[in-house]
Chains A and B, each alone.
Chain A
Amino acid sequence: MNGIKILTVLRKELTAGLRHRAASASMLMFALTALACMSLALGGSPLEPNVLAALLWIVIFFASTVGLDRIFEDEAASGTLTTLKVYADAQSILFGKMIYALISLSALSTFLLPTFIVLFDCPVAEPPVMLLTIVFGLIGLSGAGTLVAALSTAASVKSGLFSILLFPIVLPIFLPAINLTSAAMAGGEISLTMLIPMLLFDAILLVASSILFDYIWN
């Protein structure tokens, strides 16, 4: 693994991402459509924090699958995966792409979260806990998402496969994230130690992805 190569892969991803805006645009529009759909259907009726937290994470999960599944797909389709293989080692590519995934998911959340708060008139009693929960959740999603994207590239039937594969893997992050987000919305007694299991599973996912990626790539 090489820091400079990771940065170069990241720069390449960012340039490609900015040049072909379709992926990020579809991710944002998917999030907006899902939000509008839920908000319209509920007609502004007041919701409990646990329902709101669940809705928020469902949108985050499905919107991220719309963008993340293309991490290796575009290169596989245009036949440039071999060039990438020649240029950098597996670990630099994995971490370069993972950081790119995290950046695009953070951009998505920067748009999604305020829109969600406005549309659902959602209370946020503990903003720092909410932000940390979302950051830890996104780290897990991008870590597992990058590896699962590499797996699903090999598949002949792709539609829906990515979310089917990703959901069970990120569930240990998803469930505590919903609990913590709900607590951060409602306020009251929250200790930051509740974030530790999430952080631990993020670390496990990153290490496992790093080990397993070598087997897929080589």
Chain B
Amino acid sequence: MNKSKLFTIKNRQIDWLFRKVVLLAALSILGLALLIAWELFLHSKLPIEKFGWSFLWKTTWDPVGEIFGALPFLYGTLVTSLLALLIAVPVGLGMSVFLSELAPPWIASPVSFMVELLAAIPSVIYGLIGIFVLVPAMRESGEPFLKQILGFLPFFQGPAYGVGMLTAGILLAIMILPFIVSVSREILLSVPNAQREAILSLGATRWEMIWIAVLPYARSGILGSVFLALARALGETMAVTMVIGNRPDIKLSLFEPAYTMAAIIANEFSEATSEFYSQALIEIGFMLFGVTILIHALARLLIYRVTAKTEGRI
């Protein structure tokens, strides 16, 4: 065998090896995702077997008697996340409309960069701001003010503690804003210009153009960005733990302290004394995992639909 042939064979072997190594790395990611799901399931088996589905609607959380129900945490998570969406979606949408439709590029690009900075601030720093700025502000002025003008509603009653679902919702809103802004800005930019020009040529004002021609076109993509933000909000841990008040109650008033799924894991996991107790906490984590996967898949599907549509039509 001559030398050049040997060279070719050697290279082919290396090529083969290279492919296999790279494939292995890629497959290990798949394995990692499956492993996480499997380990979480395996280590929450005891409470799953003991409580079954009743874990979802029982309200007792008694580590000493080993009776666990996750409803207060589900409720707290849901209320704070929805509250955050209620605040963040209109404001975030307003900003992304401003960035994509109104602002000239020399304003839009630095401002988008600043929004990314907002996303880069770690959650524990939001929590710090929450404890020392937002909570006192809510206690002394925000909640009394709300009670004065909206106190007839059951949502705004009771003593103003400062900590509670409302404060957590506001803080969460600030944290998910960057995601809504950056994703829905991308979506709005992908709306074809023909859409805008057509309605402007009919004599529409700028706002009518946005309201009639741009936003409906981007509707499902924007919904996708909202779901993406929701997935963030549901799993957000540190900032919420620091301002929610950590009390496993189900109360209608938004001023009341509550608890979220992520918060109880953060607070009690390293102190869980018995195996059953820590497995109950892991089951909450498993639930959190399942819910985020579901919402994330829905969000991807919605965003994919808009971007696919744009490529198809004009």
Bind each other? no
B-to-A contact residues, CB < 8 Å: none
